[in-house]
Amino acid sequence: MITTINPANGKTLATYGAMTPTELEQVVVQAAAAAAEWGAVPVSDRLAVLTRLAAELRAADGLADLITAEMGKPIREAEGEIEKSAVTAEYYAAHGTAILADEPVSIDGVRAWVSYEPIGLVLAVMPWNFPVWQVLRFAVPTLAAGNGVLLKHSPNVTGSALAIEAVFRAAGFPEHLVRTLVVEEADVPETIERLIADDRIAAVTLTGSNRAGAAVGAAAGRVSKKSVLELGGSDAFVVLADADIGAAAAAAVRARFTNSGQSCVCAKRFIVEAAVADEFIERFVVGVKGLAVGDPTDRSVAVGPLARDDLRAALQRQVEASVAAGAVLVAGGRSVVGPGYFFEPTVLTGTAPGMPAFDEETFGPVAAVTVARDADHAAELAGATQYGLGLSIWTGDPERGVWLAKRITSGAAFVNAVVASDPRVPFGGTKRSGYGRELAAVGLREFTNTRTYWVA
């Protein structure tokens, strides 16, 4: 049995029966058959269903409330997550034909072209922090490309997973083309490894921890199957001395504390040139202390609970270990007493390599501020991480920001803007943040057979 818990109050939401091995096998049989049929559907017909999907997402009664209830996301952000998913469906409906079109190649004496063809059924192992957007970000382009989706979502958002499946059916996708697997948590590793080895599964994608990513990537490698891994992040938010400090500090609050800090692409390490460090820290701390913490169904609340109590305990250990190593606690730093899994919005200054808040991914409302001597030192500190997902640089000279960004390895670099995902540009990481890309043209082609045709 799988039980979901409301992290705002610790109360049980619902209980779900796990699928038996026989039921899981039936789902795979049905989904593989549906994927084979879907791959033969003309691209224009597949994309037309995406337009209906956008409408169904916007009309899905109670879906935002379910997200908030299951993982504690503030309700306005839950609504935004659904709207972003709808916009992504519309993007691919509008641009999918051009992206998937055959590409002629000019070669004397032959007719040659490159085609992007479906590969079949794709297994997706998804996390809880964006219960709808995380799935739709992968599933929309994957379905547009002519594939099927087998979804293994995080147990604590099982209701959202089943609701997503229902939305796809309501939009007009074939009944078994998008299926949710409900698996006992203890059985997940063995089940995922077995599915990856199954000849009916063409590829696998995972968003989650490095440990889970290593297991999935290794399993896919053993059977020579395509995998995409979107793993952890410890993004740097670099503030140079010539930046607009007021704008940078305000953006820093948004960059760290959206989704209550529970995002791989949240800024986590704030690296500030010494000349403006005091001003930035003062403004940043004022903004952080002004964040409303509480019931995520309240539209005035900016920071809700952490999704699980064990995540809160892990965050507390990271804060305490960083302070013991020399960091200075200037805001927050403690679990909130009372029901639910709340943690105070927290700012640590004086952080440096060797401290958990700098070296590890902090998945919650904790910001680590580090002072750099100059721009060169800032680049060195920003790159001193095992992760490489996003990077944000703030400066009065955008070209200088681009120049600095090229010295730091990441999957995306934003200058005078907060790192975000957008259907028009690729999303993904480097180093231990994973490999492969979602969104944009490359995301639509990620799970296709890029096939060469050469006709003499």
Active site residues: 230, 264
Whole-angstrom Cα Rg for the chain: 22
In sequence order, the 6+-apart residues with CB closer than 8 A to the CB of 95 are 441
Helices (H) and strands (E) in the chain, counts: 15, 20
- The string of DSSP letters for 275-337 reads HHHHHHHHHHHHHHHT--BS-TTSTT-SB---S-HHHHHHHHHHHHHHHHTT-EEEE--SBPS
- How far apart, in whole angstroms, are the C-alpha atoms of residue 315 and residue 363? 7
Query: Which residue's entry shows tokens 């935004």?
Result: 80
* Helix, coil or strand: residue 454: strand
- How far apart, in whole angstroms, are the C-alpha atoms of residue 247 and residue 164? 37
| CA distances in angstroms from 142 to 42, 89, 182, 202, listed in the order given | 15, 11, 21, 12
- How far apart, in whole angstroms, are the C-alpha atoms of residue 153 and residue 228? 16
Q: Is residue 98 classed exposed, middle or buried when 0-12, 13-18 and 19+ CB atoms within 10 A define those classes?
A: exposed
Is-contact 258 84, C-beta < 8 A? no
CA 347 to chain centre: 23
